[in-house]
Homo-oligomer: A and B are copies of this chain.
Amino acid sequence: MNRIRLGIVGTGIAARDLHLPGLKELKDKFEIVALFNKTKEKAIQFSKLVDNDPIICDTYEELLENVDAVDLALPVQFNYEFIEKALKKGVNVICEKPISINVEEGKKIVEITKNYESIVYIAENYRHFSAFDKIKELTTKIGKIYYLQWNLWIYMTKENKYANTKWRQNPEHIGGFISDAGVHHVASMRKIFGDIKWVYGTVKNIADYLGGPDLLSSTFEFENGVLGNYNVSYALDGKNRLMIKGEFGDIIFEDDIIKVVNYRNKTIHYYDEYKTHDEDSYKKEFEDFYEVINGKENDLGNVEEALKDLAFIEASIKSNGEKRIYINDLIK
């Protein structure tokens, strides 16, 4: 298989800190041949980090003439326009999550992909974490599953590099961090238990330096009947904890350890734990993107799956603490 001539579009934090390290290890698969950034100087700076000598393009259109695929690492409000332009030129796309600023625009992306042969791959790196596969496997050890709870306290300081990007401070994407980071968590939960039927959510705004709401507490039900409870804040600190409760035990994911606890007669009668290992999920998504270009099914970068992740968040916010919203009503 040939190397993919890749153009990086948007040479900001994501391209530099998340994508580039993996791409450097995948030189047999990708060659970074072109860069485009709105502020050209940033693309020039970025080019110094790339081992070969990519061209710095003045326009996105120029870049599209020189590549087989683009890596879109842009403020999310540009995804739709940039994906469409690439498709029209027969260029494959890997694009940072969330798929779009809201479900309405995400549906448009899903629609246009149907009209073109080129791949659109949404880079949801959480789908590539093996920890969630392991959790799914371990759920067989606790009987019928009834409940999932995920508490995430992802305190972002005023100095946080993501919190300081302009497009996050004045978000055009629904819910700010609630969707930007939230789709990761939804993708993970859906990887374990599949599609979600309905969501109820309440949001609050705690920190004035974070764009949009920064606390979400939501209740939802998977299509398989498991009741869920996802609580996240970007303004509060603490210990993250995913807990799955079954007929006779729990799976608890905390501090990089997955614990299996079985109860009998109100005491623990079985306990086991698995240490998760570090893995470059960004590298893995580029490897998978390469496979998909070469004919593999696009299950992990699928636009419809990415839309469902976002729909969960949009439903939580539109629920407004007042009523449940059905995911299918939102994405139909």
| Residues on A facing B (Cβ under 8 Å) | 146-147, 149, 151, 153, 155, 157, 198, 200, 202, 204, 206, 215, 217, 219, 221, 227, 229, 231, 233, 235-238, 243, 245, 247-250, 261, 263, 265-266, 321-324
Contact = CB atoms under 8 A, between A and B. Distances in A.
A238 B263 contact: yes
Contacts of A263: 155, 237-238
B227 A229 contact: no
Contact of A227 (B215, B227, B237, B324): B215
Nearest to A225: B204
Can you tell how many copies of this chain the complex includes?
2
A262 to B, nearest CB: 9
A233 to B, nearest CB: 7
A219 B200 contact: yes
A146 B204 contact: yes
Given A227-B215, A265-B157, A266-B157, A324 B321 contact: yes
24 contacts: A146-B215, A146-B235, A147-B215, A147-B217, A147-B233, A149-B151, A149-B231, A151-B243, A155-B266, A157-B265, A157-B266, A200-B200, A200-B321, A217-B219, A217-B229, A229-B229, A233-B245, A236-B247, A237-B248, A237-B249, A237-B266, A238-B250, A238-B261, A322-B323
